Amino acid sequence: MSRPESAGARFRQALQEEHPLQIIGAINANHALLAKRAGYRAIYLSGGGVAAGSLGLPDLGINTLDDVLTDVRRITDVCDTPLLVDIDTGFGPSAFNIARTVQSLIKFGAAACHIEDQVGAKRCGHRPGKEIVSTAEMADRVKAAADARTDADFYLIARTDAIAVDGVDAALERAHICAEAGADAIFVEAAYDLPTYRRFTESLPVPVLANITEFGKTPLFTVEELDSAGVGMVLYPLSAFRAMNKAAELVYAAIRRDGHQHDVLELMQTREELYDRIGYHDYEARLDALFAQGKKA
């Protein structure tokens, strides 16, 4: 079977072939390759991950579009697994800014994005004190993003944080308006039980994404549980990143304390494993061939 040409088309194909579609967070290009090796059909770049992982900053809307695009390009340059990208509030404030964001993502090889309804000075979706824009303003954001697509298959997800601010009924009403404005799916942030997800999936004409992030407001539901509630996509935004950070802290502390790394080797990927995962030997073979050609000349 021929492969769909665009990243957006590959994302849509993955949605058809896996239900719910598991979307795993990849903090960098190396992790994208590891996720592909593990069999994931779609991967994710978190805005909070860009902020914390690439910049050492909190997830408070500080990072810019260029910060995100740098990480997008690094991932899509080496990994063809379709990439969903967190664009926070769209890097606005205007529709022109949102349009530029979407068109830049497509140029850089992303397959999909999600845009949210928090105010520009946003917070992590699982923290208190969130503020959201009006429903009309969020609809305008979604419409601006949808209209800007230069690839009709690029997948647009509208995220609502309204459950924590105004309750489930208001969030559900807002989700309907976002779907009418052109969203291909709805990201229900900080839902707290399966019946809440079921209310969204049974009411909406588009798929629903569940964000199953550790240490947050949403329980760590299984794929089977979410499937029973009709959820179409399951997102694990920073699972490997959290594990990587914990391992790094343990290794740093052990080497500083003990003066050697003998006791933490089991936490490490070996040199040969790294070479295998990034295709090192294939590159080296090409280098050997070039040297051989040069000697013949």
Examine residue 20 and say whether the peptide bond preceding it is cis (omega within 30 degrees of 0).
yes
242 is in an annotated binding site: yes
257 is in an annotated binding site: no
SS3 of residue 133 by DSSP: coil
DSSP state, residue 46: -
CA distance 183 to 33: 29
CA distance 191 to 201: 12
73 is in an annotated binding site: no
Q: Which residues pair with 155 in a beta bridge?
A: 112
Q: Which residues pair with 116 in a beta bridge?
A: 159
Amino acid at 115: I
Q: Which residues pair with 85 in a beta bridge?
A: 45, 113
216 is in an annotated binding site: no
86 is in an annotated binding site: yes
Question: Residues 254, 261: contact at Cβ < 8 Å?
Answer: yes
294 is in an annotated binding site: no
100 is in an annotated binding site: no
Question: Residues 171, 159: contact at Cβ < 8 Å?
Answer: no
Which residues participate in catalysis according to the annotation?
A: 44, 59, 86, 88, 114, 116, 124, 159, 189, 211
Q: How many CA atoms lie within 13 A of 181 on its CB side?
A: 24
> In the numeric block, which tokens belong to residue 251?
């290794």
Amino acid at 3: R
125 is in an annotated binding site: yes
CA distance 221 to 59: 24
Q: Which residues pair with 132 in a beta bridge?
A: 118
47 is in an annotated binding site: yes
8 is in an annotated binding site: no
CA distance 262 to 165: 50
- The closest of 239, 216, 219, 49 to 128, measured between CA atoms, is 216
User: Which residues contribute to the annotated binding site for substrate?
Assistant: 46-48, 124-125, 159, 189, 211-213, 242, 271
User: Which residues contribute to the annotated binding site?
Assistant: 46-48, 86, 88, 124-125, 159, 189, 211-213, 242, 271
User: Which residues contribute to the annotated binding site for Mg(2+)?
Assistant: 86, 88
